[in-house]
């Protein structure tokens, strides 16, 4: 029987606040183990949590960007379980009354836009980090670092609306871009700032009811999610095809070896004995605050992407690349204003991004070296045919390392662009005389031979003529009747 996969994602996003969720310890990646800790995040007896309002603000930004409903009153609950990296033996999270509900994330799959419905977004604290012997070779001891304990997280839960591993990738890529654009997280999966649990089930194609699901825990790369979900769909398909039933389970996926392992088979909400945390008051978010946060949201990435496509007549691909970060889109818009937008987009996507990559520069560093106005000026000169493409490329290369306006750079490097008819006319005449065959073909109506002749003149100019100007001069000369005329 043909089966279709159903996938729901639970994504954890570490918020980029200065301090932790319920104490004043700094949120910092890469510190010495157990240095960013205090009685609250170590769960010492008698220590009391106090909510970090910045975490609420960030969660509201995310929720409102995604069109969620915001609860005026939401509640922090204790999720009770034992784990060595969780010193209180409970995690403070939100359960039946989360901060945000509903909403949807837009994403593009194979060039086709669609939206993924969300169930909820709630606030919770992160746990510490365990280092287990299997992974470190020192089999006799496990170690734990509490720097991460109490770091604020939002958990974003989707409805079971994803169907393929590729959709998971599109979803996570869109989510990562959004949290970065909102400035609420760096969304770096390698640093654990974005982590994901994937719930997977199969059902007969076309069936309405959902099948029994399994949950792959703690996937920590987008590629890992795609591969893990692919492996789990294949595993379930094999079982169902062999007439076996799927057992609800929590799985671990080892991306390095493409292996799934069953961690535990039964887990129900009631096992966690959720109850409202008596140490924290309910969280109230007034309508006025919701309105204020909504007003201060930046232009959302997918809105900006659509605007670049319609406003600058860019292909969808270009718009997606340029909207990867707000800074890159800002830079593009500053360069493209009043210039040839597609030219600007081509140069930024190929040349600028290549240099950033080669030099491992941030866009900020690049923009300090080559401010948008400088590039704008270069493209304006290409557009007005003052500079031929090859010379513009050369000027661009100088710009990466040197100061100075375009004319200064040309002078400094002793390059004179051959632009005037006086300079080019002799070259045009020479080429017409040297290539009587192609000239005759052109005059006989074969328009495309003109390209060959233009190329010959360009060669003689050492690449320093503007092709459009050469073309005009050739056309005019040939209209007068070819060689000798
Ligand atoms: P749990 O209580 O086990 O965490 P939830 O109902 O809260 O399960 O759902 C967790 C995630 O699993 C959500 O993203 C949801 O969309 C997804 N999900 C629920 N049921 C299924 C299913 N049968 N197949 C795939 N995903 C599912
Ligand atoms: Mg779950
Ligand atoms: Zn602390």
Q: Are 34 and 145 in contact (CB under 8 A)?
A: yes
CA dihedral over 460, 462, 467, 470, signed as positive or negative: negative
- Structure-block tokens of residue 256: 């390095």
Q: At what angle do helices 165-181 and 301-311 cross, to 10 degrees?
A: 90
| Per-residue model confidence (pLDDT) at position 35 | 97
Please tell me if the CB atom of residue 9 comes closer than 6 angstroms to any atom of ligand 1: yes
CATH node for 421-478: 1.10.10.410
| DSSP letters spanning 199-223 | EEEEEETT-SS----EEEEEE-SHH
Given a contact cutoff of 8 angstroms between Cβ atoms, the answer to whether 461 and 454 are in contact is no
Distance 77 CA to ligand 3 centre (A): 19
Strands 3-14 and 152-158: antiparallel
Q: Whose CA is nearest to atom 3 of ligand 1?
A: 268
Distance CA(353)–CA(361), nearest Å, equals: 9
Q: Chunked in runs of 10, what are the mean pLDDT values of the chain (485 residues)?
A: 94 98 96 97 96 98 98 97 91 98 94 93 96 66 93 98 96 97 94 95 95 94 96 97 94 92 79 94 98 98 95 95 96 92 94 96 96 93 81 91 92 78 84 93 90 91 79 86 51
Measure Cα distances from 143 to 25, 125, 149, 250 in Å: 21, 20, 14, 24
- What are the φ/ψ torsions at residue 144 (nearest 5 degrees)? -140, 140
Probe ligand 1: pick from 199, 208, 270, max atoms within 8 Å of CB? 199
DSSP bridge partners of 198: 9, 216
Which ligand neighbours the alpha carbon of 248 most closely? 1
- SS3 (DSSP) at 277: coil
Residue 192 contacts residue 79 (beta carbons within 8 Å): no
Contact 121, 156 (CB under 8 A): yes
Tell whether ligand 1 has an atom less than 6 A from the beta carbon of residue 6.
Answer: yes
The secondary structure of residue 246, as a DSSP letter, is: P
Kind plus residue range of the DSSP H or E element containing 165: helix 165-181
Domain ranges of the chain: 3-290, 299-412, 421-478
pLDDT reported for residue 397 = 93
- pLDDT on residue 481: 63
Helices (H), 100-191: 133-136, 165-181
Nearest to 222 by CA among 170, 180, 265: 170
Ligand 2 geometric centre to CA of 250 (Å): 9
Question: What is the per-residue pLDDT for 137?
Answer: 60
Q: What is the pLDDT of residue 419?
A: 66
Q: What is the pLDDT of residue 484?
A: 47
Ligand nearest to the CA of 121: 1
> Residue 375: is it exposed, middle or buried by C-beta count within 10 angstroms (0-12/13-18/19+)?
buried
């Amino acid at each position: 029987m043909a089966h279709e996969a159903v996938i729901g994602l639970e994504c954890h996003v570490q918020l980029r606040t200065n301090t932790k969720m319920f104490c004043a310890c700094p949120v910092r990646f890469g510190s010495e183990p157990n240095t960013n800790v205090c009685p609250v995040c170590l769960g010492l007896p008698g220590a009391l949590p106090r909510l970090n309002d910045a975490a609420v603000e960030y969660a509201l930004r995310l929720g409102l960007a995604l069109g969620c409903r915001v609860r005026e009153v939401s509640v922090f609950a204790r999720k009770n379980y034992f784990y060595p990296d969780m010193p209180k033996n409970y995690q403070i999270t939100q359960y039946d009354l989360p901060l945000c509900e509903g909403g949807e994330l837009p994403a593009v799959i194979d060039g086709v836009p669609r939206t993924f419905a969300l169930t909820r977004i709630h606030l919770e604290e992160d746990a510490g980090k365990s280092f287990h012997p299997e992974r470190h070779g020192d089999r006799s001891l496990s170690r734990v670092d509490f720097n991460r304990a109490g770091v604020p997280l939002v958990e974003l839960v989707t409805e079971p609306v994803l169907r393929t591993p590729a959709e998971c990738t599109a979803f996570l890529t869109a989510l990562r871009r959004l949290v970065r654009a909102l400035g609420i997280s760096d969304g770096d999966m390698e640093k654990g700032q974005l982590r994901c649990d994937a719930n997977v089930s199969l059902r007969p194609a076309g069936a309405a009811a959902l099948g029994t699901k399994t949950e792959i825990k703690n996937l920590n790369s987008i590629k890992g999610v795609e591969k893990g979900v692919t492996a789990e769909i294949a595993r379930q398909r094999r079982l169902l095809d062999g007439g076996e039933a799927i057992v609800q389970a929590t799985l671990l996926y080892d991306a390095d070896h493409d292996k799934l392992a069953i961690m535990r088979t039964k887990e129900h909400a009631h096992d966690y004995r959720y109850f409202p945390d008596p140490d924290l008051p309910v969280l109230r978010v007034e309508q006025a605050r919701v309105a204020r946060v909504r007003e201060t949201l930046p232009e959302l990435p997918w809105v900006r992407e659509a605007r670049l496509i319609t406003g600058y007549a860019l292909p969808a691909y270009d718009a997606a690349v340029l909207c990867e970060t707000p800074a890159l889109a800002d830079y593009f818009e500053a360069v493209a204003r009043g210039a040839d937008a597609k030219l600007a987009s081509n140069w930024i996507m190929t040349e600028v991004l290549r240099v950033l990559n080669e030099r491992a520069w941030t866009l900020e560093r690049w923009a300090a070296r080559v401010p948008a106005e400088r590039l704008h000026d270069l493209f304006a000169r290409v557009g007005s045919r003052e500079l031929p493409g090859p010379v513009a490329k050369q000027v661009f290369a100088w710009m990466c390392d040197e100061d100075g306006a375009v004319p200064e750079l040309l002078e400094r490097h002793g390059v004179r662009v051959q632009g005037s008819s006086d300079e080019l006319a002799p070259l045009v005449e020479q080429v017409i005389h040297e290539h009587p065959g192609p000239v005759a073909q052109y005059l006989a109506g074969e328009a495309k031979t003109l390209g060959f002749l233009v190329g010959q003149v360009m060669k003689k100019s050492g690449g320093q003529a503007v092709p459009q100007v050469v073309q005009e001069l050739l056309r005019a000369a040939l209209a007068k009747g070819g060689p000798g005329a």
